[in-house]
Amino acid sequence: MIGASSIRKEGRAKVMGTACYTDDKFVPDALHGVTVRSQVPRGILKGIQFGEGIPWGEFTIVTAADIPGTNRVASVVHDQPFLVGIGEEITHPEQPVVLLAHPDRRLAEKARKAVTLEVEERPAILDIQASLDLEQVIYGTHNLLKEIRIQKGDPEAVWASAAHVIEGEYHTGAQEQMYLETNAMVAVVEQEAAGLRVTVWGSLQCPYYVHGALKQLFGLPEGQVRVVAMEMGGAFGGKEDYPSVNAGHAALLAWKSGRPVKVVYDREEDLACTTKRHPSRTRLKTAFDAEGHLLALDVDFVLDGGAYATMSPVVLSRGALHSASVYRCPNVKVHARAVATNTPPPGAFRGFGAPQSLFAMERHMDVCARKMGLDAVELRRKNFLRMGDTMATGQVIREDLDLGGLMDRALEEIDYHRKRTTFAAANDSQNPIKRGVGLAVFMHGCGFTGGGESYLASVAGVEGLADGTVSILAASTEMGQGKNTVFAQIVAEALKLPFDMVETAEVDTDRVPNSGPTVASRSTMMVGRILEDAAISFKQALVQQGFLKEPYTADGFREAVAKAVATLGSVKCYGQYHRPPNIAWNDATYQGDAYPTYSWACYAAEVAVDLDTYEVKVEDFVAVQEVGRVVNPTLAAGQIEGGVAQGIGWGLWEEVTMKQGRMINNQMTNYIIPTSADLPQIRVVFLENPHPAGPGGAKGLGELPMDGPAPALINALENALGPLRLDEVPMTPDRLLGRYEEVTHG
């Protein structure tokens, strides 16, 4: 089963239109909930006015004063209110203040506009520099949401004697996940003998995050909250933490009205108000010896974390841990900060933090190569991590890592050396089309960072059903990445059963254990491994209790399960995460094994730039990666193609335009993402190297493809155009024109 391109489990329902997304859920008597937001970046809420012409008596109205439990969203830090109360501080312009519900969706929308807020405005902080400069103190004492330091050796001792010291500053912009389905929730709150019972159905990645947030919001015990994940039209990290907010809102309205409530954002609200990729600024200082060996690296990595901490601590951590990329370096200092601004808080987006710091380092390597008069490919080769080397945290590479071989495969696929020569000759002509090739080499840590997996202590299981088939019990959600299919393949392989005999149970917290959040590309490697163990225990239990004899056939297994269920009522086996041997992490010092292992990759891009329009066309793209064993080649290639498309969009076109802390191009017509017409054929190559900690040898791969495209593209742009200040993404035509004019007009 592992290695087969099994057909996507939920594919048929999606194609036939029978898959039930949250807004498809028919809920009789439901009200439609809408959110009144703050409008100003910073101020004190003084009053709320309900305007003329709206039958307010028909509405359910919720403000902060109504909240029965704690008015804080349970997250890494409990700093964000569900609703801002009168007398409290507004800290960004999309902050929820009042919730309204009415049976008529359009009237609810109209009423939202009839509410006015009296706000005493305060000066706001709108960008990283203003926050660092403490122009206003808006969060804690220093506007710091999180700060991390990593130190290895002493870079300060190297600068003076090094042959080359090269500095650079790189910027990356915000990015919208642009899942097809916008954020949506349905809530029902019942008054039971045991107290309130809150149930939420929604588009969400992490049912147990939402579960925890609802418990705290209503002050309820474990058993009184239920969260069900509906079919999801994509997430990309955008439904990691925000669903705790809108689920809370829907549940508050349901509780106050005594009726079911649907809260479904339209695209404009979703774009303006929900989380995005963190904007970043990275300053790098590197020292090399005369041959180009990296001697020292100083990283100053800053993320714009918006008004509340949300996922910033983990995004910052992953960014800091990937900031040295794939290079051996004896002296490294990393100073990473997430700073507060009066903007809607960003959150997780595919790669969270790694694409930002890797863009800086992989772009910087090309800049350094040019400045030292070395070839960018050979400079990388000279410095690649190999078995036995240590990373910045002291993590020792224990696998037989061959990044040179990986890179050579990408160079060969894209015909790098020949293109470098022929393009250089052609670019000298009067033709306004200039061509270039570039690459990036990078890695992505598998699973939660540091001690995260031990802390989560995830549980997942398998259950026998009355008809003799097997059901997977896990809170991991399907967002298009293929978890339903991959989990079934892993369990079917462990039990030696056909794929069709294994299905995934509905992700309902009343039914499935907490297998952790569906983030950090952890499902296949981390949860898959637990399921593999659970499946083997399940089979052993059937044998020990006399229901099953080995060897068995699929029919024999089916009969054994049916008999066991008929006899015992239910047959379930659970597995739990076990830290692999030889892995240690110290969260206080940031020393040790940041991840059990990494997936490794080299991406190469060919671009054509039109110097009449400054339009950049991606003509060819090669993605070579080592992700352990590939469980499902078709789905895996789809993950890479999709991630590369998002990476190309982030690198060239996707620009979040902000004004006074608000996104003003919050429509699909003016926030430009690539379509298939804008993309080349993305050529995907997997080099397999099974890893002992993953199920069947598999590692994580979902986010890896987001890391490489932007630096590969910008390096290719420099190859096409010569040394411009190409230090930022997205490199839109306007920005590129500006950079070009800097050199042509002085």
Q: How far is the CB of 638 from ligand MOS (least distance, A)?
A: 16
Among 206, 519, 622, 731, binds ligand MTE (CB under 6 A): 519
Number of residues forming the site for ligand MTE (CB under 6 A): 21
Q: Report the residue number, 81 or 351, with the smaller CB distance to ligand MTE.
A: 351
Handedness of CA 521, 525, 526, 530 (dihedral sign): positive
Binding mask 689-708 for ligand MOS (x = CB under 6 A): --------------x-----
Tell me if 520 contacts ligand MOS by CB under 6 A.
Answer: yes
Tell me if 520 contacts ligand MTE by CB under 6 A.
Answer: yes
Task: Report helix angle 528-544 to 554-568, nearest 10.
Answer: 80
Tell me if 179 contacts ligand MOS by CB under 6 A.
Answer: no
Q: Report the residue number, 215 or 350, with the smaller CB distance to ligand MTE.
A: 350
Q: How much of the chain is in helix, strand and coil states, percent to nearest 5?
A: 35, 25, 40
Q: Report the residue number, 320 or 640, with the smaller CB distance to ligand MTE.
A: 640
Q: Which does 483 bind (CB under 5 to 8 A by kind): ligand MOS, ligand MTE, none?
A: ligand MTE
**Residues 218-237 close enough to bind ligand MTE by CB under 6 A:** 234-237
Q: Which does 727 bind (CB under 5 to 8 A by kind): ligand MTE, ligand MOS, none?
A: none
Q: Which does 481 bind (CB under 5 to 8 A by kind): ligand MTE, ligand MOS, none?
A: ligand MTE
Q: Which H, E and C letters describe 159-207, residue by residue?
A: HHHCCEEEEEEEEECCCCCCCCCCCEEEEEEEEECCEEEEEEEECCCCH
Tell me if 718 contacts ligand MOS by CB under 6 A.
Answer: no
- Dump the DSSP string for 43-93: EEEEEEEE-TTS-GGG-EEE-GGG-SS-SS--SSS----SSPPTTSEE-ST
Q: Report residue 285: phi and psi, to 5°.
A: -130, 125
Q: Six-digit token pair at 386? A: 């190999």
Query: Strand runs (DSSP E) across 446-498, as ranges?
Result: 459-464, 470-473
Contacts of 719 (CB under 8 A, 6+ apart): 420, 423, 436, 437, 438
Among 45, 62, 348, 684, binds ligand MOS (CB under 6 A): 348
Among 262, 522, 529, 699, binds ligand MTE (CB under 6 A): 522
Q: Which does 528 bind (CB under 5 to 8 A by kind): ligand MOS, ligand MTE, none?
A: none
Tell me if 448 contacts ligand MOS by CB under 6 A.
Answer: no
**CA-to-CA distance for 633 and 615, rounded, in angstroms?**
34
Candidate ranges 226-234, 255-263, 345-353, 417-425; the one touching ligand MOS (CB under 6 A) = 345-353
Tell me if 518 contacts ligand MTE by CB under 6 A.
Answer: yes
**CA-to-CA distance for 155 and 620, rounded, in angstroms?**
39
Q: How far is the CB of 562 from ligand MTE (least distance, A)?
A: 31
- Nearest Cα neighbor of 586 from 444, 394, 323 is 394
Q: Report the residue number, 348 or 439, with the smaller CB distance to ligand MOS.
A: 348
- Nearest Cα neighbor of 137 from 309, 339, 346, 302 is 339
Tell me if 480 contacts ligand MTE by CB under 6 A.
Answer: yes
Binding mask 197-226 for ligand MOS (x = CB under 6 A): --------x---------------------
Candidate ranges 47-55, 63-71, 180-188, 697-705; the one touching ligand MTE (CB under 6 A) = 697-705
**CA-to-CA distance for 610 and 613, rounded, in angstroms?**
6
Helix (H/G/I), strand (E/B), else coil: 567: helix
Q: Report residue 244: phi and psi, to 5°.
A: -65, -30
Q: Which residue has the tokens 């569906």?
A: 518
Among 179, 208, 349, 574, binds ligand MOS (CB under 6 A): 349
Q: How far is the CB of 633 from ligand MTE (least distance, A)?
A: 15
Q: How far is the CB of 521 from ligand MTE (least distance, A)?
A: 4
Contact 332, 296 (CB under 8 A): yes
Helix (H/G/I), strand (E/B), else coil: 304: strand
Q: Report the residue number, 522 or 735, with the smaller CB distance to ligand MOS.
A: 522
Q: Distances from the Cα of 632 to the Cαs of 3, 108, 527, 696, in angstroms?
A: 5, 45, 16, 12
Q: How far is the CB of 639 from ligand MTE (least distance, A)?
A: 6
**Residues 169-198 close enough to bind ligand MTE by CB under 6 A:** none
Among 519, 535, 656, 716, binds ligand MOS (CB under 6 A): 519
Q: Report the residue number, 236 or 621, with the smaller CB distance to ligand MTE.
A: 236
**CA-to-CA distance for 366 and 379, rounded, in angstroms?**
9
Residue nearest to ligand MOS (CB): 237
Candidate ranges 9-17, 118-126, 404-412, 480-488; the one touching ligand MTE (CB under 6 A) = 480-488
Tell me if 350 contacts ligand MOS by CB under 6 A.
Answer: yes
Among 79, 181, 231, 240, binds ligand MOS (CB under 6 A): 240
| Burial (CB count <10 Å: 0-12, 13-18, 19+), residue 415 | middle
Neighbours of 133 (CB within 10 A): 11
At 689, the amino acid letter reads: N
Tell me if 642 contacts ligand MTE by CB under 6 A.
Answer: yes
Q: Which residue has the tokens 């907010």?
A: 245
**Residues 651-680 close enough to bind ligand MOS by CB under 6 A:** none
Contact residues for ligand MOS (CB under 6 A)? 205, 237, 240, 348-350, 352, 519-520, 703
Contact residues for ligand MTE (CB under 6 A)? 234-237, 350, 479-481, 483, 518-524, 639, 642, 700, 702-703
